[in-house]
Structure 1
Amino acid sequence: MHFLRRSLTGLILLSLTLGLLAYAGYVVSASVQARMERTPGGGARDEREFAVKVILATPQTIAPTLTAYGEVQSRRTLELRAKAAGTVTLLAEDFEEGGQVEAGQLLVRIDPADARSARDRAQSDLMDARAEAREAARALELAEDELSAARDQAALQERALQRQRDLEERGVGTAAAVETAELAAAAARGTVLTRRQAALGAEARVDQAATATSRAEIALAEAERRLAETEIRAEFAGALSEVAVDEGALVSNGEQLGTLIDRNALEVAFRVSTAQFARLLDEGGQLRRAPVTAVLEASGARLTAPGTITRASAAVGEGQTGRQVFARLDAARGLKPGDFVTVEVAEPPLTQVVRLPASALGSDGAVLALGEDGRLEPLAVTLIRRQGDDVLVRAGDASPELAGRRVVMQRTPLLGAGVKVRALGDAAAASGEATDETSEMMDLSEERRARLIAYVEGSRDMPDAVRTRLLDQLAQSRVPASVVARLETRMGG
């Protein structure tokens, strides 16, 4: 009996266990069936189809823009330095940071008392030298007159000596008279020599006076220059910077008082890679005078200045790479030296290229194009340029099949060769409804709208506010294409 009772208890427990397992299986089966009923399309699914945005590849002629970064600087910058030591007695009203001055305007005056005194002494010395020169000229004239008189006297004595000799030969004169005449002639010749020496001395005095006058004139010019150096004037029109002096300050010779910058002679210096620099050369290897645009953006403000490339650096700096290029700016309103700007350089136009979003080009150098059966096909392209968020690819002989094809605008890890996709708007076009692929809004067929509404209503992990907003959008006649693409991606086709 005891064995029978235990056997019956075991059978009862086994029956209960089997019943519980059967009930659990029923509950699971019912839950799966209910879930499958809520899923659009029932339990059987078709091949997964992705909704993608496409762009028509159209070959065209495009002028690329080379983008670089550079610094604005002035071609004419002058350091204002004191050429004389002393006290600053005058400062121009505009001699301040950012002051605008005109060419030739007096900026700073240093106490000129010492320089003026030196100039006056130099003038006095010059007057003395000129007086000495006049006196030497008069002495030379007198010495020349005395020399002329001495020569005349010597000639008379020579004629008297000749007469005495003639008388002696005729027996009329005496030897004593001849000797007296000879002594007188010799004395006259000695007087001529003395007068010649005096004339030479007067000439030397004139030369010395001329030298002294020239030296005095040089000293006066130097004194006037030193007096002029007590005034600092603007060499050209511009703006002042780094002003470091006040009225009454004591400055030393060579001390920097400020910097004068020509506001109308600005240029931008920017560095490009060697490959980019090669694209700026013409057929002769010379740097093209390509147009550039300097752009400064700050806090929503955008300042632009057109310009032209003028030259390139003669050598590559130590530790630098690429090439440094300079471009002269025209009408650079608002730009200042030291601004860090974006430089846009216009390159020669390129023919037979296609502009695509950068996200359309994969790391393998290919894009995905739609085939006739709606499946993706990889197409190898040649990358020509990168232009911000876009790329320029060759559409000529390198990839003739790219022209006219619809290319996926954004590649994702889910997309690849052979994947079936649907371009946004294709389903509506197939049902005969008007659709614009480039529009942000699109029409939906009733079947497609019902599938989307069923998916939104059956999604349990979606917040109520988001579900309500999506249902309101799907109830409209035209639905945002981005909403449709997002929902169909989550649905898996």
Structure 2
Amino acid sequence: MRRLWLLLPLLLVACAPKEQRAEPPKALAVAVRVVEAKPGVLERETRVAATLQAERESLVAAGASGRVLRTLEAGSRVKAGEGVVFLDPEPFREALEGARLSLAQAETNLKRAQEAREGNRKALLAQLQAAEAQLQAAKRRYEEGKALLEAGALAPLDLKALEASLHQAQSAYQNAKEALEQLERGEDLRLLALQMEAARLQVRQAERNLKESVIRAPFAGEVVEVFVKEGEFLGTGSRAFRLATTESLIAKLYLPPEKAALITQETPFLLRQNGREAPATLLRKTELPGQSRLVEVVLKPQGALLPGPAEARYREKLAEGFLLPAGALRPEEGRAWVYVVEEGKAKRKPVRLLAQEGDQAAVQGLKPGEKVIYPVPEGLKDGDPVEVVP
């Protein structure tokens, strides 16, 4: 009887209905957060060394040699045509006075020669006429002598004397004719006229040198640097001062061709200098000759900066695709994967990584609006049930 009581619980369990038996527990859903896949452009902030300089700058040289009398100080604002470096004007004034005296003397010599030419012409013309008359008389006497010689009324020796007189008359006529022709050609007058023009040229040169004794600003701007001091000698062609339009600056930077090609007029730039910031826009791009293979990029600042070094910043486009946090990607099997939520489960999906910058990545292989799990829980597997939480 005692054994029957011991077997009774076992019999009751064996005879119990199947639907009342305990079922195994279901897998718990993993709480996850998600980000929505949205298309966009992944950019990177690029920083490049730049140099700010005047948009218009000139290294002004001396146009004449002389001793420096005085100069303006560096930093002076000047107008176009205003003097900056002043040379001693006295030597230039003395040279001008000497050139004017030489010109006056040359003009006097020419005038005297012109007046003398008229008197000489009358005298030479009279000499030519007299020589011509003597030549005609000598010809007649010689012809008469030949006739007398044939008639036996004149000795041969007397005819020789008449012939000599004829040659002498011909020579005198020729000399008088050449003297008159030389006077008519006016070679002496032309020489004196050339001397007068040379004297006038010296006067103009002396006047120009006197003007060059004041070295002036070619345009309105600021005297950035003066290269001479009072009392020093400044030679022709030597640099005197540097002038710049500091209120209008440009910024120059140098980029590889592939990076410069991505910059357009719409690319925004930011210039930083000693705590100051100023936006800037693209002015032009120029390829540099040689083997450097760099492109000179010139920017136009839109703020108050100073000439000198600066830093240029701009956003460089890296890729265009779906932007995700870099932590949402999982490298497995040599590829990049993400986990998306589909029908309450985590589904592993391959994507193509285009570019990564910091904690953000651009990928291909998703659909707009797909829910990508981020951050990815440790141990999450493909097909695990998930519950999206805010």
Q: Structures share a fold, TM > 0.5?
A: yes
Residue matched to 1:71: 51
Q: Among residues 128, 137, 141, which one is paired with 1:160 in the alignment?
A: 137
Q: Deviations over 1:115-173 (max 9, x none)?
A: 211121122122222322333444455555544433333332343345446666887x9
Q: Deviations over 1:87-142 (max 9, x none)?
A: 42464xxx532x33232222232221112111211221222223223334444555
Q: Distance in 1 between matches of 2:349 and 2:377?
A: 14
CA deviation after TM superposition for structure 1 residue 235, in Å: 1.2
Q: Among residues 109, 112, 127, which one is paired with 1:135 in the alignment?
A: 112
Contact 2:326 2:359 in 1 (8 A): yes
Counterpart residue type for residue 106 of structure 2: A
Counterpart residue type for residue 94 of structure 2: S
Matching of residue 323 in structure 1 with residue 294 in structure 2: yes
Residue matched to 2:99: 122
Contact 2:135 2:173 in 1 (8 A): no
TM-score normalised over the length of structure 1: 0.56
Matching of residue 96 in structure 1 with residue 65 in structure 2: no
Residue matched to 1:354: 322
Residue matched to 2:21: none
Contact 1:87 1:111 in 2 (8 A): yes
Q: Deviations over 1:390-418 (max 9, x none)?
A: 55x354xxx2x353323456x68958765
Counterpart residue type for residue 346 of structure 2: R
Q: Among residues 280, 287, 312, which one is paired with 1:342 in the alignment?
A: 312
Q: Among residues 348, 371, 377, which one is paired with 2:348 in the alignment?
A: 377
CA deviation after TM superposition for structure 1 residue 420, in Å: 6.8
- Relative to its length, the structure with more strand (as a share) is 2
Residue matched to 2:165: 183
CA deviation after TM superposition for structure 1 residue 194, in Å: 5.6
Secondary structure of the residue aligned to 1:341 is: strand
Counterpart residue type for residue 277 of structure 2: R
Contact 2:224 2:243 in 1 (8 A): yes
Q: Distance in 2 between matches of 1:267 and 1:180?
A: 99
Contact 1:292 1:327 in 2 (8 A): no
Counterpart residue type for residue 287 of structure 2: A
CA deviation after TM superposition for structure 1 residue 245, in Å: 6.1
For the structure 1 residues 139 and 103, does the alpha-carbon distance in structure 2 shift closer, same or farther, using more than 3 Å as the test? same
Q: Deviations over 1:232-290 (max 9, x none)?
A: 111122222134667xx21221565532113466432222235324546xxxxxxxx74
Counterpart residue type for residue 155 of structure 1: E
Q: Deviations over 1:292-344 (max 9, x none)?
A: 54422367743113232231211244xxxx62323252x64313332413153
Point out the more displaced range, 68-77 or 223-232: 68-77
CA deviation after TM superposition for structure 1 residue 378, in Å: 5.4
Counterpart residue type for residue 322 of structure 2: V
Q: Among residues 208, 217, 227, which one is paired with 2:210 in the alignment?
A: 227
Matching of residue 406 in structure 1 with residue 367 in structure 2: no
Give the gaps of 5 or more residues in structure 1: 1-43, 281-288, 429-493
Residue matched to 1:479: none
Point out the more displaced range, 71-80 or 225-234: 71-80
For the structure 1 residues 181 and 276, does the alpha-carbon distance in structure 2 shift closer, same or farther, using more than 3 Å as the test? same
Secondary structure of the residue aligned to 1:334 is: coil
For the structure 1 residues 310 and 96, does the alpha-carbon distance in structure 2 shift closer, same or farther, using more than 3 Å as the test? same
Contact 2:345 2:384 in 1 (8 A): yes
Secondary structure of the residue aligned to 2:38 is: coil
Matching of residue 306 in structure 1 with residue 281 in structure 2: yes
Secondary structure of the residue aligned to 1:103 is: coil
Q: Structure with the greater relative contact order (CA < 8 A, sep ≥ 6): 1 or 2?
A: 2
Contact 1:383 1:394 in 2 (8 A): yes
Residue matched to 1:14: none
For the structure 1 residues 390 and 121, does the alpha-carbon distance in structure 2 shift closer, same or farther, using more than 3 Å as the test? farther
Residue identity over aligned pairs, in percent, reads: 19
Q: Among residues 281, 284, 297, which one is paired with 2:272 in the alignment?
A: 297
Matching of residue 271 in structure 1 with residue 254 in structure 2: yes
Q: Deviations over 1:404-456 (max 9, x none)?
A: 323456x6895876597979xx436xxxxxxxxxxxxxxxxxxxxxxxxxxxx
Contact 1:144 1:199 in 2 (8 A): no
Q: Distance in 2 between matches of 1:262 and 1:297?
A: 20
TM-score normalised over the length of structure 2: 0.69
Q: Distance in 1 between matches of 2:385 and 2:305?
A: 51
Secondary structure of the residue aligned to 2:307 is: coil
Q: Distance in 1 between matches of 2:124 and 2:377?
A: 119
Q: Distance in 2 between matches of 1:198 and 1:210?
A: 20
> What count of residue pairs does the alignment treat as equivalent?
352
Q: Distance in 2 between matches of 1:356 and 1:340?
A: 34
Q: Distance in 2 between matches of 1:136 and 1:209?
A: 8
Contact 1:291 1:345 in 2 (8 A): no
Residue matched to 2:196: 213
Q: Distance in 1 between matches of 2:199 and 2:299?
A: 49
Contact 1:294 1:341 in 2 (8 A): no
Q: Distance in 2 between matches of 1:63 and 1:268?
A: 27
Secondary structure of the residue aligned to 2:109 is: helix
For the structure 1 residues 427 and 345, does the alpha-carbon distance in structure 2 shift closer, same or farther, using more than 3 Å as the test? closer
Question: Could you say what the CA RMSD is over the residues aligned between the two structures, in angstroms?
Answer: 4.5
Q: Deviations over 1:51-80 (max 9, x none)?
A: 5462x22235x5968844222233532224
Q: Deviations over 1:330-367 (max 9, x none)?
A: x64313332413153787x98x6334456656787746
Q: Deviations over 1:205-243 (max 9, x none)?
A: 334424433433343333233322221111122222134
Matching of residue 368 in structure 1 with residue 338 in structure 2: yes
Contact 1:296 1:342 in 2 (8 A): yes
- Relative to its length, the structure with more helix (as a share) is 1
